[in-house]
Amino acid sequence: MQKVLIVYRTIPQYRVEFYNLLKDELFKNNILLELIYGDSHLDNRKDIVDSDWATFKKNTVINLGLFKIIWQPCMQETKTADLVIVEQANKLLINYVLMFRRIFKNKKFAFWGHGLNLQLPKNGFFNKFKLTYINQTDWWFAYTNGIKEFLVQNGFKAERITVVQNAIDTKRLNSYYKSISESEVTSLREQLGINVNDKVFIYCGALYKEKKISFMIDALKRLAKKGINFKFLVIGSGPLDNLVIDAAKQTPWIINTGPKFGRDKALYFKLADIFLHPGAMGLAILDSFAFETPMITAPYEFHGPEFEYIINDYNGVISSENLEVFVADIQTLLSDYARYNRLKSISGLMIKKYNNETMVENFANGIYKALSA
């Protein structure tokens, strides 16, 4: 059997089923998938999980003052792999070893990722450094079509790029959503103190500065002054936990739930009318589709590549970074029932396009091509 090795810093909860499906798909074609993952020292995230078949190897974090680098101890495993796939990240030392091995020992490896760190200035030092080795690989697994276009513009051959169409298990999440009964919704509504006539806004994601948590709270304060009764569910955790906790103590319409996953998360979305997400956004748009909850977002330089999945006024609303316009767009969507229901109904088409099964098929086809190239 040929062997493919994926080395990744951690396994996020949303990625488990993708790896399981990819392993099974490759095995059908006489390819063994090995996955090595570590632990997360650099993120205050609570969605990191373990795998019952992958190999855990503790990351070594080296603090260099202004930034940190990570060593993933997996050199022995890379020696026996026909293809090694790694995240393209400046801080991962294994990547530089693989680049040298590619040159001097003709050992094949591939990058998986964005091409740039989209949460840093595009013209900043770290992204300029990233561009110096963007072409030093045999294959690219690009998150989206937009990432492929960026790679081609920077000199990488289009025929050696696989667009994986980054996704989560939207079909399963949607089945959770549809399985929730009215009695469950009523029970949670009563538990949270939400009146039946209250509008419910939701934010679900990590809590850090680029997510614009304060912007959302300020927007809803203006909405409250207009006499609209609502509650705001904040689902997630991160460096700004205390900001949300303090705001919830001072503001009766903020409900801080902490992280939620799977069917539990679906239940909270079943309560919600609109998904607010003006800050850095990636896979969250797929939560909007899976849980049939229209999203209002806004242009922002730090959006993930999945922002390109949104078509304004077709499967979501792209508002403005201007606070008054953002508030007005919330009000407009609340009052336009035909438009709201149209956005909601489009979700079914979106999860047929963006799902784990399609991503696995794309990724596997890329692996077959990379191995035979």
pLDDT in tens, 142-182: 999 999 999 999 999 999 999 999 999 999 999 999 999 99
pLDDT in tens, 65-118: 778 899 999 999 999 999 999 999 999 999 999 999 998 888 899 999 998 877
Distance CA 20, CA 22 (A): 6
Structure token pair of residue 75: 């050199």
The DSSP element (H or E) to which 37 belongs, if any, is: strand 31-37
- Note the pLDDT of residue 120: 78
Q: Where are the domains of the chain?
A: 2-167+355-372, 170-353
Instruction: Write down the H helix ranges in the chain.
Output: 16-28, 75-79, 93-105, 125-131, 145-153, 170-179, 182-192, 213-225, 241-250, 262-271, 284-290, 323-335, 337-345, 347-353, 356-372
Fold observed for domain 170-353: Rossmann fold (3.40.50)
Q: What average pLDDT does range 171-199 have in this prediction?
A: 97
Determine contact, residues 51/19, Cβ cutoff 8 Å: yes
Residue 126 has pLDDT above 90, yes or no: no
- Note the pLDDT of residue 127: 85
Residue 268 has pLDDT above 70, yes or no: yes
Residue 217 has pLDDT above 60, yes or no: yes
Helix (H, G, I), strand (E, B) or coil at 346: coil
Strands 2-8, 109-113: pairing kind: unpaired
Determine contact, residues 91/68, Cβ cutoff 8 Å: yes
pLDDT in tens, 341-366: 999 999 999 999 999 999 999 999 99
- Note the pLDDT of residue 330: 97
* Residue whose pair of structure tokens reads 């607010």 in the numeric block: 276
Percent of the chain with pLDDT over 70: 98
2-167+355-372: CATH, from 3.40.50.2000, 3.10.580.10, 3.40.190.10, 3.40.50.10490: 3.40.50.2000
Instruction: Write down the H helix ranges in 75-124.
Output: 75-79, 93-105
pLDDT in tens, 221-233: 999 999 999 999 9
- Note the pLDDT of residue 67: 80
Residue 266 has pLDDT above 80, yes or no: yes
Determine contact, residues 257/277, Cβ cutoff 8 Å: no
Determine contact, residues 56/28, Cβ cutoff 8 Å: no
- Note the pLDDT of residue 46: 67
* 18 φ/ψ angles, rounded to the nearest 5 degrees: -60, -50
Percent of the chain with pLDDT over 90: 87
Q: What average pLDDT does range 227-240 have in this prediction?
A: 94
Considering only residues 336 and 116, tell me which one the structure prediction assigns the higher pLDDT.
336
- Note the pLDDT of residue 40: 63
Distance CA 256, CA 162 (A): 39
Residue 372 has pLDDT above 80, yes or no: yes
Residue 44 has pLDDT above 70, yes or no: no
- Note the pLDDT of residue 207: 93
Determine contact, residues 296/326, Cβ cutoff 8 Å: yes
Helix (H, G, I), strand (E, B) or coil at 202: strand
Determine contact, residues 236/203, Cβ cutoff 8 Å: yes
Average pLDDT along the chain: 94
* Residue whose pair of structure tokens reads 């063994």 in the numeric block: 32
Helix (H, G, I), strand (E, B) or coil at 221: helix
Identical fold between 2-167+355-372 and 170-353: yes
- Residue type for 215, please? F
- Note the pLDDT of residue 42: 52
- Residue type for 59, please? N
Q: How confident is the model at residue 336 (pLDDT cuts 50, 70, 90)?
A: very high
